[in-house]
Amino acid sequence: MRNHTRATVEALLSETGAGIVEWSGIGIFTDHHTGPILADDPEDVLQAEWLAGRLDPYRQVARCYHLIARKL
CA distance 43 to 46: 5
Which residues neighbour 16 within 8 Å (Cβ) at sequence distance 6 or greater?
71
- For the chain, the domains span 6-71
Task: For 1-72, list the strands marked E by DSSP.
Answer: 18-26, 64-71
Amino acid occupying residue 9: V
pLDDT, tens digit only, all 72 positions of the chain: 567 899 999 999 999 999 999 999 999 999 988 888 888 999 999 999 999 999 999 999 998 999 999 998
CA distance 45 to 29: 8
Model pTM score: 0.79
